[in-house]
Amino acid sequence: MPAETADWVALNMVRGIGPRSANQLLREFGCPANVFTASRSALERVGLKPPTIRELHDSEVLQKAAAEIERLEPLGIELVTLGDPDYPSLLREIHDPPLVLYLRGRWREAIARPCLAVVGSRRSSSYGINAAASLARDLAAQGLTIVSGLARGIDAAAHRGALDGAGLTIAVVGTGLDSTYPAEHRPLSTEIVASGAIISEFPLATPPLPQNFPYRNRILSGLCFGVLIVEAAEHSGSLITARMAAEQGRDVYAVPGNITSQTSFGPNYLIKDGAKLIQCARDVLEELPNDLRSDIHELSDGPSPAVQTSIDSVILTEVERSVIELLSTDVPAHIDQLLLASQLSSPAMMNALLGLEMKDRIIQLPGKSFLRRL
């Protein structure tokens, strides 16, 4: 890597310098190398505190940056700095773009497509999970890259939906790329690397600190032409993402929810405030500017022809048809309820559910509960 790359990485690692102050330093001094050689008085004038100035003038931070860069290739991680031509163009436009992006996977291909963020509550309802997965699947099948945060709930459903649509998805995370948070999403992250990318601005070994995630959210919206909120409580991070999207000049979309549900407050509030109400993939596609619309497939009312043909061509057995008729798209049914309602034996029910899951007609939730896929 060029020598100046280490300067970018080092500046990104200095304690006491966040994204806004880092970009202020670049506006003042021109490049990271000039920041490290600036005088104490010049650094004091831009508001840096003595411990931060001492770290900037200590050669140890540049040594740490060089060691960090050495670790990347064995981990399959690439590095792009704000000074590189490969840096995502939309993200470069925001007020406080990350100095450095750590990336794994097919990131060039993923960011070359129109990107849509799909985010929502970690404590999501069955309705929310089904809606996020269905919309992400249909939009990914149409050629959009689905961007989310790898969190539990809506984020994970959005990533899985994009993968089900044979599309690309990007996970923007709040940790270093040498770990996965939450840990149970390691298998999902492996799939995402194979069919998209995982991106972080944080150095390796950065733990999932609470303050990292608001920073992460501005990248989620900054990479995308718009943000789709599926579920969000009144004080959720997803509403922060929606606010950042609006400040960045991005479109805000929302899926309406049950007015009695706590997680419906966010999207319903956003719709009252002017967000576009989304019921199906077509609602998003019709809002795209002409230059983005030309980059994706022709508009359709549902999944792309390939996906719809695949769904329509699935042949269900008589038992599978009887079981799927017992399932709802928003209220999960426990296996004991299904056994009681169907009068099937336990082995017959298990075979039917397995068959329906393999044919992508149902979603299994934790605790042996099931939903019909939208």
Q: Assign residue 151 the CATH number of its domain.
A: 3.40.50.450
pLDDT value of position 101: 98
Same domain, 164 and 29: no
Domain that holds residue 192: 107-303
Distance CA 197, CA 104 (A): 5
State the pLDDT at residue 3. 61
Instruction: Please report the pLDDT score of residue 316 as a whole number.
Output: 87
Q: Is there a single domain that holds both residue 150 and residue 255?
A: yes
For residues 89 and 335, what is the distance between their CA atoms, to the nearest angstrom?
A: 49
| Distance of alpha carbon 219 from the chain centroid | 9
pLDDT value at residue 363: 86
Phi and psi (nearest 5°) for 198? -120, 135
DSSP 3-state helix, strand, coil percentages of the chain (rounded to 5)?
Answer: 50, 15, 40
Per the listing, tokens 């296996």 go with 335
Closest to 188 in 3D by CA, of 228, 248, 133: 133
pLDDT of residue 290: 75
- Do 270 and 221 belong to one domain? yes
Q: Are residues 120 and 268 in the same domain?
A: yes
Quote the pLDDT of residue 302.
46
Cα-to-chain-centroid distance, residue 156: 8
Give the relative orientation of helices 154-164 and 126-141 as an angle to the nearest 10 degrees: 40
121 with 193, same domain? yes
Do residues 224 and 153 both lie within one domain?
Answer: yes
Same domain, 153 and 287: yes
**7 in a structural domain:** yes
Query: Is the same domain home to 275 and 126?
Result: yes
Q: Are 231 and 263 in contact (CB under 8 A)?
A: yes
pLDDT at position 121, please? 93
Looking at residue 301, its pLDDT comes to 43
For 30-87, the three-class secondary structure string (H helix, E strand, C coil) is CCHHHHHHCCHHHHHHCCCCHHHHHHHCCCHHHHHHHHHHHHHHHHCCEEEECCCCCC
- Please report whether residue 227 resides in a domain: yes
Whether 229 contacts 266, CB under 8 Å: yes
Query: What angle is formed at CA 365 by the lines to CA 324 and CA 315, rounded to 5 degrees?
Result: 30
Distances in whole angstroms, Cα of residue 357 to Cα of each of 25, 164, 253, 254? 53, 12, 30, 28
How many domains in the chain?
3
Q: How far apart are CA 227 and CA 114, in angstroms?
A: 12
Residue that finishes a domain, picked among 57, 75, 93: 75
Residue 317 corresponds to which tokens in the numbers above? 């057995």
Which one of 303, 325, 354 terminates a domain?
Answer: 303
Pair 337, 358 in one domain: yes
Strand bridging mode 196-200 / 168-172: parallel
The answer to whether 9 and 79 are in contact (CB under 8 A) is: yes
The H or E element that residue 162 is part of is: helix 154-164
Helices 237-247 and 212-222, packing angle to 10 deg: 50
Spatial distance between the Cα atoms of 200 and 225, rounded to a whole number of angstroms: 19
| Cα dist from 226 to 100, 107, 112, 165, 275, whole Å | 22, 18, 15, 20, 11
- Domain end: 254, 277, 303, which one? 303
The confidence score (pLDDT) of residue 2 equals 60
pLDDT given at position 260: 85
What is the C-alpha separation between 25 and 32, in angstroms, rounded? Answer: 8
Whether 322 and 282 share a structural domain: no
Asked whether residue 141 is assigned to any structural domain, the reply reads yes
Q: Is residue 259 part of a domain?
A: yes
Q: Is residue 94 part of a domain?
A: no
Identify whether 89 is part of a domain: no
CATH number at residue 327: 1.10.10.10
Whether 65 maps to a domain, the answer reads yes
Tell whether 296 and 357 lie within a shared domain.
Answer: no
> Within its chain, how far is the Cα of 123 from the centroid?
16
pLDDT at position 309 is 41
294 shares a domain with 174: yes
Candidates 26, 158, 4, 144; CA nearest to 81 is: 4
Q: Which residues of the chain have pLDDT under 50?
A: 298-313
As a whole number of angstroms, the distance between CA 116 and CA 139 comes to 9
Round the CA-based radius of gyration of the chain to a whole number and report it. 23
Give me the count of residues in the chain. 374
H helix runs in 195-285, sequence order: 212-222, 237-247, 265-272, 281-285
Q: Is residue 99 part of a domain?
A: no
